[in-house]
Structure 1
Amino acid sequence: MYGCQQELINNPEFIPFLEYLCTTANKLINYGIYLARQWYFKLGYITGKYDLGKQLKSNFNYQFLHSQAAQETLRLVTESFQSYKELSHQHLAGHLSNKPRLPKYRKKGGLEVITYPKQALRLKENQVRVPLGKKVKAVFKVDIFLLHFSNNFDWKKIREIRIIPRNNCFYVQWVYQL
């Protein structure tokens, strides 16, 4: 069982590259949806867990994000297509009255959630080191950013963090095991 705590990221230095990261994640999702739809229409194939990551490794948007964050982003696309496949089977069997639809593209210029598994994070003196992609370092001259880690958590129980754009602000969600 998992719990989640959300905190506002109120450091104005982080806002420009967090916006760019979330926009890049949105673009990567659209690339993933495009590729998955093409596979479905031309080959009748629903993507496997690692297929999109292998195909999009050379994509600029994939390279801009930290590799594990990019993989988590593409995993969301794969899960949505797997869900579509299961719902289609249930519809054909007569268990669902409404026909499911293929996942649609996200709004151009939108912001998307970025997820970092704990494996990518490091804790040092109540600061969590969040890595950024190599392209971020080239553009922003920053390769990490630090988040304050609350004392009300046990670091060993943290499973992942999510950077969430909402209401012109950014939040961090700490997902932990209960």
Structure 2
Amino acid sequence: MQGGKMMFGCQQVLIDPSPELRAILEFVCGESNKLHNCGTYYARQLYFKENKIPSRFDLHREMSSNVHYRAMYSQVAQQCLTTVAESFKSFIGLLKGIKKGTVTQKPKLPNYRKPGLNLVTYPKQSVKLKDAGLRFPLGKQVNAWFNVDCFYLPMPSNLDYKKIREYHILPRNGAFYLELVYKTEPVKSDVNPNNVLGIDPGLNNWLTGVSNVGTSFSVDGLHLKSLNQWYNKRVSILKEEQLQGFWSKQLARITEKRNRQMRDAVNKAARIVLSHCLQHRIGTVVFG
């Protein structure tokens, strides 16, 4: 606890599923997507007809007999509907902000997701650590349909199981990730808020930093720029003479590879900035 707030970290692990596990993950994430749209439909109709929005408890109650709700583990289905309720709550908050003058652009009513896969969230109490790994339950209905009551994923060796608060099954561009949200202890650093680092973003020089304590650094962006140019060129070739909205497994594969490279570069650049600040006791960063 620091300043009354609990701090959380997040780690993503790429899942290498067998054909059987891939089928289970696609089923669960597909049902999550369908349930999300069912909850969105109910919330939109309630807003149109009565100018009200449902609470997460309203959605849980109304959707409890829905076939997609029953096809998921109950706590997982509730997490999915809670996300829908929070999006409508945020929409109403933005509308109030317009009346107060704190928001200038009119927000859009939350809309439906495209057919496909959606994030699945397991709370910590639903997942147990067994000898075979992390056990994720599937619920009674799935067990009755397919005679499968759970699936297992490896537990990362660098995390403490007791500190994990949520597990996310994240589908992205044909791949699946296990995202683990865990409690972390705040780190106190010996920095001076009067020491300031200014960072200017660019292309060839991705980040250029200069401080008022006589230090400077730059992060080269040429390699990243080259990777991005190759990706854009390849996408243009693959989409040539195709219908609008065309997508393929090859496009998904190269997009996911490019996104991983970008995330890796962002993480490494952030580490360079943080290390520089800690080394020179810089407590204030001005970006852009």
- Alignment of structure 1 residues 59-138 onto 2, 5 Å: 59-107=66-114, 109-125=115-131, 127-138=133-144
Q: Which residue pairs with 2:261 in the alignment?
A: none
Shift of residue 28 of structure 1?
0.3
Q: Which residue of the other structure, out of 150, 158, 165, is the alignment partner of 2:164?
A: 158
Q: Do the aligned residues in 2 keep the contact of 1:26 with 1:110 (CA within 8 Å)?
A: yes
Q: Which residue of the other structure, out of 37, 46, 55, is the alignment partner of 1:48?
A: 55
Is 1:5 equivalent to 2:32 in the alignment? no
Shift of residue 116 of structure 1?
0.1
Cα separation, 2, equivalents of 1:151 and 1:26: 31
- Alignment of structure 1 residues 17-36 onto 2, 5 Å: 17-36=24-43
- Matched AA of 1:115: T
Shift of residue 93 of structure 1?
1.9
Q: Do the aligned residues in 1 keep the contact of 2:132 with 2:152 (CA within 8 Å)?
A: no
Cα separation, 2, equivalents of 1:135 and 1:19: 16
Identity, in percent, stands at 47
Cα deviation 1:143-164 (Å, max 9, x = unaligned): 1011111221111100010001
Q: Which residue pairs with 2:240 in the alignment?
A: none
SS of alignment partner, residue 65 of structure 1: coil
Cα deviation 1:20-50 (Å, max 9, x = unaligned): 1111100101000000111111111111121
TM-score by length of 1: 0.95
TM-score by length of 2: 0.60
Cα separation, 2, equivalents of 1:161 and 1:110: 20
- Matched AA of 2:24: F
Let me know the Cα RMSD of the aligned residues.
1.1
Cα separation, 1, equivalents of 2:132 and 2:155: 5
SS of alignment partner, residue 26 of structure 1: helix
Shift of residue 11 of structure 1?
2.3
Q: For structure 1, which runs of at least 5 residues remain unmatched after alignment?
A: none
Higher RCO (C-alpha 8 Å, min separation 6) = 1
Q: For structure 2, which runs of at least 5 residues remain unmatched after alignment?
A: 1-6, 185-288
Q: Do the aligned residues in 2 keep the contact of 1:68 with 1:116 (CA within 8 Å)?
A: yes
Q: Which residue pairs with 1:145 in the alignment?
A: 151
